[in-house]
A and B are shown apart, each in its own frame.
Chain A
Amino acid sequence: MRAIQEKNPRKLSWMRIRSIARRHFYVMLRSPHRLFDVTIWPLVDVVLFGSIGAFVAGSQTASSRAFGYLLGGIVLWHVIYQSQIAVSTGFLEETWSRNLMNLMVTPVKEWEYVAGTALFGLVKLILGTGLVAVTALLLFSFNITDLGLGLIPIGAILLAVGWVIALFVIGFVLRFGSGAEALAWGILFVVMPLSGVFYPVDALPDVVRPIALVLPTTYAFDAMRTLLDGDGIDWGTIGISAASTVALTAVALMFLMRMLRVFRARGFISRYS
């Protein structure tokens, strides 16, 4: 009789997901420098953008709304940042510690691995975004929860987009190896200005505006600004954002599976063994 949980696939998957999440949690606890992402970086961001916001709001010509746009933007930006970084660097950790081969020959399915790192990412998300929100409240009296229930769908979309971007990063690393690791951090610096995190996309140069319009994040931050302006929940904009998130998820999954096939076909596992 084998003491193996095979007859209950759901329970087995949950066991694997939990195990992967726990492994990354141990890594975070035992590598204090990795806490930078959830402590120092959020603090720097909120002080930087809060101060700019306070300065702009105090000037005679600027709109006082800019203050809320900047602080609301940076708090919600950290939802994408933390969820993306947790999954991307969770995968990179396997390559750095040469654990990828060990994992690839286990029964773990691709989606179970991603779910495990995403679950761990939720812990980082709560720590990082919580710190940003509390700091914004303490230093600038900006309470993100004043946005009300509309915050929930916007936050959920941004969380999903962070995970989806991480799938692209993992796909690139599988295909191009360690040279693509920089994308784990760099890709967000491309997405951030294009998404109109702190300003409406009308402020973008004409040539890049079409790119902004296909990003789900653009609509999510637009819906956030509508909330900040006191105009209530813009379900239409949130709906567009959700639909484009679903489309982007499908593209990311196809891309990842394609890259995984290439990884296996070309024997790229030898890079990590």
Chain B
Amino acid sequence: MEFVLNARGLVKDYARTRAVDGIDIEVVRGERVGLLGPNGAGKTTTLMMMLGAISPDEGSIEICGHRLPGGRSEAMQRVGFSAGYMPLAERLRVGEFLRMYGELYGVLDVEERIEVGLERFRIPELAEAMGTQLSSGQRTLVGIVKATLHRPSLLVLDEPTASLDPDVALRVRTGLRDLCQSEGTALLITSHNMVEIERLCERVIFLSGGRVIANGTPSAIASQFERDDLEGVFIHLAQVGAEQRKRDARRAQETDHTA
């Protein structure tokens, strides 16, 4: 098996909390993996560590054989990243923005790649538009085009379809599936839209409290928790997490009183 991502024993502590507590994640070439979990489960911190933007306190991350942090530049050459919440750089036209990122990744035939990318997500008319003139859906699509210009081995998407119309979300899913099939790109995606993950991903990793609590196909995970679908699992885990937090808070209060 050819791993594009191999993360082992990731731990990350912030001032008062352990955000990530010993996570292992591996993704093989061409695989589409969903990273799910309720708010505060550690998804974004995990993604940021895999992208080299946050350094783990413990553990190792290898991308296409390049280990972080030493091989960060070489590793990132093989990774594309986009997030639904990230704006485009201001005061640039879409074409200029894409060209800039294409060059940062060393793409030689950058104009051709921009054309192909915009066509794939059916937005060729946006090339001359200013970034600030785009709707949130258009920005998301342009962000994904940016992330795929250099034909990455691993595409990391954080909430790519948040607040998108269903038709634009469908266009994103279709484009991503096409990309993974035609170029062998592996996908690691976070989303709060469980239906989307079920449609797009072959495998799902569920996080809760900074740990991996389930790892398998969407249907296998639903069966594991005796629920109908991923949404049922998600709601169940969110409720369990909330009860656990209440118990922890009560215990902390009792300890304070005793002291």
Checking A98, A105, A106 against B87 with a beta-carbon cut-off of 8 angstroms, the contacting residue is A98
Docked complex Cα distance between A101 and B108 (Å) = 24
Taking a contact as CB atoms under 8 Å apart, the answer to whether B91 and A26 are in contact is yes
Taking a contact as CB atoms under 8 Å apart, the answer to whether A269 and B91 are in contact is no
Docked complex Cα distance between A273 and B83 (Å) = 9
Taking a contact as CB atoms under 8 Å apart, the answer to whether B86 and A98 are in contact is yes
A5 nearest in chain B by CB position: B106
Taking a contact as CB atoms under 8 Å apart, the answer to whether A4 and B77 are in contact is yes
Residues of B close to A97: CB separation below 8 A: 87, 89-91
Checking B12, B45, B76, B85 against A105 with a beta-carbon cut-off of 8 angstroms, the contacting residue is B76
Name which of B14, B86, B100 has the most chain A CB atoms within 10 A of its CB.
Answer: B100
B3 at the A/B interface (Cβ < 8 Å)? no
Checking B57, B76, B85, B107 against A273 with a beta-carbon cut-off of 8 angstroms, the contacting residue is B85
B121 at the A/B interface (Cβ < 8 Å)? no
B105 at the A/B interface (Cβ < 8 Å)? yes
Checking B19, B54, B103 against A15 with a beta-carbon cut-off of 8 angstroms, the contacting residue is B103
Checking B74, B86, B150 against A101 with a beta-carbon cut-off of 8 angstroms, the contacting residue is B86
Taking a contact as CB atoms under 8 Å apart, the answer to whether A16 and B104 are in contact is yes
A94 nearest in chain B by CB position: B89
Taking a contact as CB atoms under 8 Å apart, the answer to whether A2 and B151 are in contact is yes
Docked complex Cα distance between A103 and B53 (Å) = 10
Taking a contact as CB atoms under 8 Å apart, the answer to whether A3 and B73 are in contact is no
A65 at the A/B interface (Cβ < 8 Å)? no
Checking B74, B85, B86 against A107 with a beta-carbon cut-off of 8 angstroms, the contacting residue is B74
Q: How many residues of B contact A (CB 8 A)?
A: 43
> Contact flags (1/0) for B101-125 with A, using CB distance below 8 Å?
1011111110001000000000000
Taking a contact as CB atoms under 8 Å apart, the answer to whether A23 and B100 are in contact is yes
A269 nearest in chain B by CB position: B53
A102 at the A/B interface (Cβ < 8 Å)? yes
A261 at the A/B interface (Cβ < 8 Å)? yes
Within 8 A of B (CB), among A244-273: 261, 264-267, 269-270, 273
> Contact flags (1/0) for A178-204 with B, using CB distance below 8 Å?
000000000000000000000000000
Name which of A4, A94, A273 has the most chain B CB atoms within 10 A of its CB.
Answer: A4
Docked complex Cα distance between A74 and B21 (Å) = 57
A19 nearest in chain B by CB position: B103
Checking A30, A107, A265, A273 against B77 with a beta-carbon cut-off of 8 angstroms, the contacting residue is A107
Residues of A close to B221: CB separation below 8 A: none
Q: Given that A4-B106, A264-B54, A273-B83 are known contacts, is A23 also in contact with B92, CB under 8 Å in the complex?
A: yes
B81 at the A/B interface (Cβ < 8 Å)? yes
A12 at the A/B interface (Cβ < 8 Å)? yes
Tally of contacts, chain A with chain B, CB under 8 A: 112
Q: Given that A101-B53, A267-B14, A273-B83 are known contacts, is A23 also in contact with B89, CB under 8 Å in the complex?
A: yes
Name which of B99, B103, B108 has the most chain A CB atoms within 10 A of its CB.
Answer: B103
Taking a contact as CB atoms under 8 Å apart, the answer to whether B113 and A18 are in contact is no
Q: Given that A16-B103, A101-B86, A105-B79 are known contacts, is A4 also in contact with B108, CB under 8 Å in the complex?
A: yes
Taking a contact as CB atoms under 8 Å apart, the answer to whether A4 and B79 are in contact is no
Residues of B close to A105: CB separation below 8 A: 51-53, 76, 79, 81
B229 at the A/B interface (Cβ < 8 Å)? no
Q: Given that A27-B90, A30-B91, A273-B83 are known contacts, is A108 also in contact with B51, CB under 8 Å in the complex?
A: no
> Contact flags (1/0) for A69-102 with B, using CB distance below 8 Å?
0000000000000000000000000101111011
A159 → B minimal CB distance (Å)? 25
A263 → B minimal CB distance (Å)? 9
Residues of A close to B202: CB separation below 8 A: none
B98 → A minimal CB distance (Å)? 11
Residues of A close to B79: CB separation below 8 A: 105
Residues of A close to B108: CB separation below 8 A: 3-5
Residues of A close to B14: CB separation below 8 A: 266-267
Within 8 A of B (CB), among A94-133: 94, 96-99, 101-109
Taking a contact as CB atoms under 8 Å apart, the answer to whether A22 and B150 are in contact is no
B110 → A minimal CB distance (Å)? 8
Docked complex Cα distance between A41 and B151 (Å) = 45
Docked complex Cα distance between A147 and B19 (Å) = 61
A130 → B minimal CB distance (Å)? 24
Residues of B close to A26: CB separation below 8 A: 91-92, 96
Within 8 A of A (CB), among B157-173: none
Residues of B close to A6: CB separation below 8 A: 77, 106
Interchain residue pairs A-B with the least CB separation, the first 10: A19-B103, A5-B106, A97-B90, A30-B91, A264-B55, A105-B51, A107-B77, A107-B73, A99-B89, A107-B76
Q: List 5 A-B contacts (CB under 8 A).
A: A20-B100, A97-B91, A102-B146, A106-B105, A264-B54
User: Other than the known A102-B86, A264-B55, A265-B57, what 12 A-B pairs have Cβ atoms closer than 8 Å?
Assistant: A2-B150, A2-B151, A3-B113, A4-B105, A4-B107, A5-B108, A96-B90, A102-B146, A105-B52, A106-B104, A107-B76, A107-B104
